[in-house]
Structure 1
Amino acid sequence: MSGRMDSDRARTHGPEMATSFGFRTVENGEKQPLVNDVFHQVANRYDLMNDLMSGGLHRLWKDAMVSSLAPPRSNTRAFRVLDVAGGTGDVATRIVTRGGAQTNAVVCDINGSMLQVGQTRAEKAGLSDRLRFVEGNAEDLPFPDRSFDAYTIAFGIRNVPRIDKALTEARRVLKRGGRFLCLEFSQVDVAGLDRIYDAFSFNAIPAMGRLVTGDGEPYRYLVESIRKFPNQERFADMIREAGFSRVDHRNYSGGIACLHSGWAI
């Protein structure tokens, strides 16, 4: 696909994501198995493809996310983070290595292949005592109420069928005063950059996917899912509707990515 899509027409308001698999409309209940298949296929090359898709910028964006979280460096203050849809452990590793010895993270992902990659990496890095990997659904988290100091999710929430349900679950598991941070691809807000970004996304990324993994279709879905995701203001409204306070967002790289923040007060 080439050419600029009309963003207001292409992007959903959130609830429609449950039946949106990229630009395809699917039946209720069909999206999750299709998304699972995508990530089973790309698990071993997921972070490499993030480098190719973002020109390495995803590393800077994730570092900025962790800086915004500011995990305590104290070796006595416990700080427990839930990183959702973070199967490879990329963000969680950044968090625990930035924080003190009492900063720990639980990585929760619905995809076992992604979790296996993360578990192997944590063992090699000697972080198994500070990183725990749990298979679970963002829409129905297997954790008690008010059990985490922070909830993070990076480039994963657009793959959740019922985003409103995932946001409600995030609010449920956070302690009072807990922080919600979501890093996600978003709507470019720089004239000219939008057309360049679309041309690169729809033409170059699936081609790179074919070269790296032998199949470009999973990456075509990933590109299309970005265009269907609610824009910055719409998603901020969804976070407020889930019960979060002091909601704000910050664009990175002209809106290619956006960091959303909220507090459980």
Structure 2
Amino acid sequence: MTDPRTPSAPSQPAAPAQATGVSAGAEGNWFGYRPVDPDAKSGLVRAVFDSVAGRYDLMNDLMSGGIHRLWKDTLMEMVAPRADMTLLDVAGGTGDIAFRFLERGGGRAVVCDITESMVRVGRDRSYDRNLLTGVNWTVGDAERLPIASRSVDAYTIAFGLRNVTRIDAALSEARRVLKPGGKFFCLEFSHVVLPVLREIYDVYSFQVLPRLGRMVAGDEDSYRYLAESIRRFPEQQAMVKRIEAAGFGAVRVRNLTGGIAAIHSGWRI
């Protein structure tokens, strides 16, 4: 398997002006701060998540201080599950979003993830929760979903869009699988809007987080990539424009915890 390791990060956090976003469509050329062949990126991403699959929730706890659980609850409030709804959760690996959907009265959930080891973890967790029906698991790429067109009522992707090779292709696929009027939601680590918090979060992301990854999970390189991938992700308003360009209406962004994360939402036109 391709080695996911990246060059060592600088001792000081990268300046936001240098680290924020890439031009539309160019994200496939980067694996964190490392330039790569777009055809190689998905394999590198799979290697990262193969490495962290067994401790994925711990990873999110380290990256968010545990607040990701509240963010996911907020996301589910926006989804507003109903018994007649089918949810597709992309990059949904360990099942956090699907489980919340079903436990709040949702009808059926389909979890799709590019990494088979993440899907195995999620399926095992569903057995632990005695969720034996109502959720289906499949391995697939966000850019080429193994899902029928116009077949789902809601599409969610949490902490996954920044890892795809071609964001616009993934957005196009989201529109394809949604029924007309279906709801799109993306929860993602984003760009901090409070200057003081930005400085603190940069220090945490680039100096503290990789060391925690090494000490707690024995994997510094994957955690460094994840911090870098956040800085490469488009800023909030740029993401709004790309979602609109993909064929969604009423696109909105809701910043969480000062922009450490954000939820983008829209309706399939």
TM over 0.5: yes
1:212 alignment partner in structure 2: 216
1:95 alignment partner in structure 2: 101
1:29 alignment partner in structure 2: 39
Following the alignment from structure 2 to structure 1, what is the Cα–Cα distance between the partners of residues 162 and 265?
16
Q: Deviations over 1:63-101 (max 9, x none)?
A: 0000011112xxxx421000000110011101110125x
How many pairs were matched up?
259
Q: List structure 1 segments (4+ residues) > 4 angstroms apart after TM superposition.
A: none
2:129 alignment partner in structure 1: 125
1:203 alignment partner in structure 2: 207
Q: 1:223 aligns with which of 227, 230, 244?
A: 227
Match for 2:133: what amino acid? D
Q: 1:86 aligns with which of 81, 92, 95?
A: 92
Q: Deviations over 1:211-238 (max 9, x none)?
A: 1221200000000000000000111111
Q: Deviations over 1:194-219 (max 9, x none)?
A: 01000001111111111122120000
Q: Secondary structure at the match of 2:26?
A: helix
1:158 to partner: Cα distance: 0.3
Match for 1:17: what amino acid? E
Q: Does 1:15 align with 2:19?
A: no
Match for 1:81: what amino acid? L
1:182 alignment partner in structure 2: 186
Match for 1:104: what amino acid? R
Q: Secondary structure at the match of 1:128?
A: coil
Following the alignment from structure 1 to structure 2, what is the Cα–Cα distance between the partners of residues 64 and 206?
27
Q: Deviations over 1:3-54 (max 9, x none)?
A: 4513366311331111110000101201111111000000000111211211
8 Å CA contact retained: 1:13, 1:234: no
2:6 alignment partner in structure 1: none
Following the alignment from structure 1 to structure 2, what is the Cα–Cα distance between the partners of residues 15 and 78?
36
TM-score after normalising by structure 1? 0.95
8 Å CA contact retained: 1:105, 1:130: yes
2:15 alignment partner in structure 1: 5
Q: Does 1:150 align with 2:154?
A: yes
Aligned CA-pair RMSD: 1.1
Match for 1:220: what amino acid? R
1:164 alignment partner in structure 2: 168
Q: Deviations over 1:124-159 (max 9, x none)?
A: 111121111100110011111100000000000000
TM-score after normalising by structure 2? 0.94
Following the alignment from structure 1 to structure 2, what is the Cα–Cα distance between the partners of residues 3 and 207?
13
Q: 1:38 aligns with which of 41, 48, 66?
A: 48
8 Å CA contact retained: 1:11, 1:227: yes
8 Å CA contact retained: 2:13, 2:207: no
Following the alignment from structure 1 to structure 2, what is the Cα–Cα distance between the partners of residues 220 and 239?
27
Gaps of 5+ in 2: 1-9
Q: 1:249 aligns with which of 240, 253, 263?
A: 253
